[in-house]
Structure 1
Amino acid sequence: MSEFWFFLEVLLSGMFAGTMYSLVALGFVLIFKASGVFNFAQGTMVLFAALCFVGFLEMGWPMAIAAIVTVAVMIAWAFAVERLVLRHLVNQAPIILFMATIGIAFFLEGFGELIWGAAVHPLDVGIPNDAWFIGPEGAMMVQQFDLAAAVIAGALVTVLALFFHYTRIGRALRAVADDHQAALSVGIPLNQIWVIVWSVAGFVALVAGIIWGSRLGVQFSLSIIALKALPVLILGGFTSVPGAIVGGLIIGGGEKLAEVFGAPALADLLEWVTGIGMSLGGIEEWFAYVIAMFFLLFRPQGLFGERIIERV
């Protein structure tokens, strides 16, 4: 029975970590749904939003005011991106837009370091980090912080899914992603739509930055977290908001199980085959990318993504 509870603890721990990956993946999905391009700058937006928030806190501002001003900063950033970059790239090839987001990412990272410095900023927003022990005789441990992050991610996914499917703006976003010129021809204000979606992605980046910053501290390595969101996107689908959370749960749970149970089993198998004892580790670092590779081979649109068929 204790082995069952340990297995469940490892699985839940991984799934909770997966919801934090999903928070980053949500921003990628939002931009992709509105422009049809992968936003390489999303990870840097997470970093920049977190830097602004913690910077305002260190200046002595109340937490609520710091959050509101940071949201305003991300909205201003969305206006700047639309006016200076996206407006000049309407109906360009996706690779052109993708290269533009790479430039945006490097600029934003350098701009953030120029304003806030490169030091690690500790962040505490009051999310409890105590452990709950549940099951018979407290056999399984659950961290309150992980549970809170999962609830926040689930709430964001629910709100955004409803927004995309049941609002006029959400339908316009999907139309813009399909064809820029066609959307303009039927009166959809492309520039306004891009500002809205980049603003929403900025808000999502702030939430992700606060959660990740509370756990790791606000530091420039946060932008690397975006790389962990890539397998989540591939599994869930680049156009699916619910797919981001499902993909995160699969990736988070799978990599934890692979690290705790898969590595010893693989080491035993290799020892049986080769007769050489060895200790394997680090599976957690690459397991998600292997799963993503198989999805790319057999279901490139992901679990919930839309299959794209181009006729020539």
Structure 2
Amino acid sequence: MAFFLETLIGGLMAGMLYSLVALGFVLIYKASGVFNFAQGAMVLFAALAMARFSEWIPKWTGIDNLFIANLIAFAIAAVLMFVVAWLIERLVLRHLVNQEGATLLMATLGIAYFLEGLGQTLFGSDIYKIDIGMPKDPIFMLDTVFPGGILVNKEDVIAAAIAASLVILLSIFFQKTTTGRALRAVADDHQAAQSIGIPLNRIWVIVWCVAGVVALVSGMIWGSKLGVQFSLTTIALRALPVVILGGLTSVPGAILGGLIIGVGEKLSEVYLGPYVGGGIEIWFAYVLALVFLLFRPQGLFGEKIIDRV
């Protein structure tokens, strides 16, 4: 029982991080109606900025306090992501208003390759580390209930708490604020939203800025765990089954989908791996997503599209 709970908790922690990355996809889709293939590149670009600025700030300012240096680096990286979001809207999206979804999709592919190249040009292509002070030592919980207790990684707990807090804040933002309701209106119909006075360009800037902050937090956490390297772009690929499961238009779906994928990967690797061979953790999420595409393509919380002719 203790081992099962240990695996379950590990899956929930990983699932919350998947949810955070998937949230970036949902944000862009809700505002523009297009799947943002640049999300992985945004995570990488933000992580590179955070890693390099946290390394440069002490040299430039003489600050030797890790917390203050990281705080300044985070602020600078956030401003940089805001600038990137503004430039994307100004130079790309503004000229593609009311275009076909395939056109916007190809635009995000171009943005992805551009950000990958720009990140390498500005910050280098080596493997960097982000030290945000999260403890990496494991702890034992419930040792009075189970013999030996349950082994939990402190870093995973803190990372999951940060991800959960951001997810909750964004959920409140979408449901309770005027801007959040405007974002949902824009996603439903661009032309109708413009006709009632919703400024489409400003909404897109806001949502890309928010997605940039989500990418920064995601990159910071994953960079702290895995190191900042160009394989971070594949984190977005791991989040694809999450949005398929939860639904492209649902913030709660991104959360629940991430938890299901995280727990499913861990449990399948431990309990099914010995029977089907190793590596099940790599492909389990995609098989589950395929099943959902066959029987419920809109996902758990996605809206079913009905075309009337």
TM band (smaller chain): over 0.9
Matches of 2:11 and 2:177, distance apart in 1? 34
Matches of 2:85 and 2:98, distance apart in 1? 19
Identify which of 54, 67, 71 aligns with 2:74. 67
Q: Is the 8 A contact 1:6 1:139 kept in 2?
A: no
Matches of 2:77 and 2:172, distance apart in 1? 25
Moved more, 169-178 or 298-307: 298-307
Q: Is the 8 A contact 2:18 2:242 kept in 1?
A: yes
Q: Does 1:290 align with 2:297?
A: no
Shift of 1:231: 0.5
Amino acid aligned to 2:23: L
Structure 2 SS opposite 1:142: strand
Structure 1 SS opposite 2:57: coil
Amino acid aligned to 2:222: W
Q: Does 1:31 align with 2:28?
A: yes
Q: Does 1:44 align with 2:51?
A: no
Name the structure 1 match of 2:264: 254
Amino acid aligned to 1:155: S
Matches of 2:254 and 2:82, distance apart in 1? 23
Identify which of 105, 109, 124 aligns with 1:117. 124
Matches of 1:132 and 1:64, distance apart in 2? 27
Paired residues for 1:176-187 under 5 Å:
176-187=186-197
Shift of 1:60: 2.6
Q: Is the 8 A contact 2:50 2:130 kept in 1?
A: no
Matches of 1:205 and 1:263, distance apart in 2? 32
Q: Deviations over 1:79-129 (max 9, x none)?
A: 100011101111111111011000000000000001111100011100111
Tell me, which stretches of 5 or more residues in structure 1 are unaligned? 268-279
Amino acid aligned to 2:51: V
Tell me, which stretches of 5 or more residues in structure 2 are unaligned? 59-68
Matches of 1:37 and 1:189, distance apart in 2? 18
Paired residues for 1:153-302 under 5 Å:
153-264=163-274, 266-267=275-276, 280-302=277-299
Q: TM-score, normalised by structure 1?
A: 0.93
Q: Is the 8 A contact 2:250 2:302 kept in 1?
A: yes
Q: Is the 8 A contact 1:36 1:177 kept in 2?
A: yes
Structure 1 SS opposite 2:197: coil
Amino acid aligned to 2:212: G
Runs (4 or more) in structure 1 with deviation over 6 Å come to: none
Amino acid aligned to 2:271: F
Structure 1 SS opposite 2:269: helix
Name the structure 2 match of 1:274: none
Name the structure 2 match of 1:83: 90
Paired residues for 1:84-163 under 5 Å:
84-135=91-142, 136-163=146-173
Matches of 2:138 and 2:20, distance apart in 1? 22
Shift of 1:141: 0.5
Structure 2 SS opposite 1:60: helix
Moved more, 297-306 or 205-214: 297-306
Shift of 1:138: 2.7
Name the structure 1 match of 2:65: none
Matches of 1:150 and 1:125, distance apart in 2? 15
Shift of 1:23: 1.4
Name the structure 2 match of 1:271: none
* Root mean square deviation of aligned Cα: 1.0
